[in-house]
Amino acid sequence: MDLLYDMETLNWTFPYNISDLLDKYDFNEEDADEYERLYAAGVYINNYYLWIIFAFGFPGNIASTVTLSKMKPMTTSKFYVALLAIIDNLAILQKLLYHQLTYHEVAIGSTGCRIMNFLYLCLVTYSNWILVFMAIERFMAVTIPLRVTVIWNLNRARLSMIILGVVITGIYSHTFWTTLSHDGMQCGIAEKYNFFYKRIWYWINASFYSFVPSVILIVCNLLITLRVRKSGQRRSRLYSETERERSIHLNRYERQITVMLLTVAVVFLILTLPRTIFILVHSSWIPGRLSLNYARKQLLDQLTFFLCDATHAVNFYLYFITGQKFRQSFIGIVFDQSRNSSVAFNHSRVQMTLNGTGDTSLNPGSLTCKACVNMKGNECIMLQPRNTYK
């Protein structure tokens, strides 16, 4: 039974030790050492790269969601960016969960394999296509700026994401009957679906996950780049003289959003391009298991996975660098929280002092200080209020 290529996040061990390579196969000592180094590097990346992505991506995506929720009003662009952050975090958590289950050799069975494979394929594909919708929306914003809010409003953006989710669910629903586990831990496909998976589904999946989104993003980015230089002048002409200043402000804001989302799309293409190339050559590059090319292929497999999965972790930092309004909103939230915490702490100390439950020396500026100096039955004899300024 062949392992599912889409789920190749299993933790590797060396298939043979170096002495076996030297004794049983035509390996010289130098080649055996290189084989060990290459394979060890692949194992190391496989074991730790998801933790790096989690450390940077998970808090960054939460910060994006919180920041965008505070930026009013909610627009289609903000909706897509917030949804992308949520889906990216779910994809990171799903991959990390599966990685840890295999690392600790937890038996998940065929049911677990089916659920894990389905969630993985749906989440990463959904994330990629959100970027496509963002790029199309931005292209319309710079092409028909006065009509885009009518044609592509928030309700239609939500509906488009629901329809996209239904389509993706349907495309990957086959995993619930093609996926099996032959030892409870490693996920594979049923023998009767081998031809379908290797010869047909492999290219369908690659196209829907990577090829088609990449082509659309490239085309949209090129068109946006050509249009964005002209959009400011066109919009300025459409406004009256009295609205000129306001139109300039709106145009600047739209440009910021466009540059921010354009940067995200370009970085996505750069990070996924190596994986796309690897997918293209994977089926034709089949080295022997005990060869240097096999070790090189496994290392490249993990490196391209690392870069591809990094797309789920970098967006917040791209928003922060390229989006002035996003950056100001995030910094404002951080400082507001810090200031509110400081005010709440100081207010608590003042209240404790005024109520006689704290050390009055902590707040020498309080107008009155009261303390219980004697108890008579249940009655507390209080000191008379004293003005501290006298």
pLDDT in tens, 289-321: 777 888 899 899 999 999 999 999 999 999 999
Residue pair 251/236 in contact (Cβ under 8 Å)? The answer is: yes
Instruction: For residues 19 and 349, give the distance between their C-alpha atoms in angstroms, rounded to a whole number.
Output: 71
Give residue 312's pLDDT: 95
Q: Quick one: average pLDDT of 192-213?
A: 87
The conformational region for residue 62 under phi > 0 = left, psi -120 to 50 = alpha, else beta, is: alpha
DSSP state of 3: B
Q: Which residues contact 290 (CB under 8 A, 6 or more apart)?
A: 15, 16, 21, 25, 27
Please determine, for residue 239, whether its predicted confidence score (pLDDT) is greater than 60. no
Residue 331 reports pLDDT greater than 50:
yes
Q: What percent of the chain has pLDDT over 90?
A: 34
> Which range has the worst mean pLDDT, 4-8, 142-146, 256-260, 322-326?
4-8
Q: Give the DSSP H or E segment for 179.
A: strand 179-181
The confidence score (pLDDT) of residue 364 equals: 38
What's the average model confidence in pLDDT over 118-131? 95
Q: Is the Cα torsion angle 342, 346, 351, 356 positive or negative in sign? A: positive
- Confidence band for 86, pLDDT divided at 50, 70 and 90: very high
Q: How far apart are the C-alpha atoms of 127 and 55, rounded to whole Å?
A: 19
Q: What is the pLDDT of residue 233?
A: 57
Q: Who wins on pLDDT, 172 or 142? A: 172
Nearest-10 Cα torsion for 258, 260, 265, 267: 150
Is residue 151 over pLDDT 60?
Answer: yes
Quote the CA–CA distance of 98 and 120 in Å, as a whole number.
9
Return d(Cα 355, Cα 350) in angstroms, integer: 9
Residues 371-385 pLDDT 10s: 344 444 444 444 343
Of 116, 133, 266, nearest to 176 (Cα)? Answer: 116
> 3-state class of 381 per DSSP?
strand
Cα dist from 113 to 94, 107, 171, whole Å: 12, 10, 17
Task: State the pLDDT at residue 292.
Answer: 84
DSSP letter for each residue of 319-369 = HHHH-HHHHHHHHHHHHHHHHHHHHHHHHHHHHHHHTTSS-GGG-TT-S--
Q: Which residue has the higher pLDDT, 378 or 68?
A: 68
Which of the residue ranges 25-29, 85-89, 382-386 would you say has the lowest mean pLDDT? Answer: 382-386
For residue 189, the 8-state DSSP code is E
Q: What is the pLDDT at residue 232? A: 56
Q: How far apart are CA 343 and CA 386, in angstroms?
A: 26
More confident site: 221 or 341: 221
- Tokens 């039974």 locate to 1
pLDDT of residue 194: 84
Taking the C-alpha atoms of residue 192 and residue 202, their distance in angstroms, rounded to an integer, is 15
DSSP character for 252?
H
User: Which of these ranges, 38-47, 211-220, 348-357, has the smallest mean pLDDT?
Assistant: 348-357
Tell the burial category of 204 from Cβ atoms under 10 Å away from its Cβ (0-12, 13-18, 19+).
exposed
* Residue 7 clears pLDDT 90, i.e. is over it: no
Distance CA 90, CA 79 (A): 17
Number of Cβ within a 10 Å radius of residue 288: 9
Q: Residue 292 has what DSSP assignment?
A: H
Distance of CA 331 to the CA centre of its chain: 20
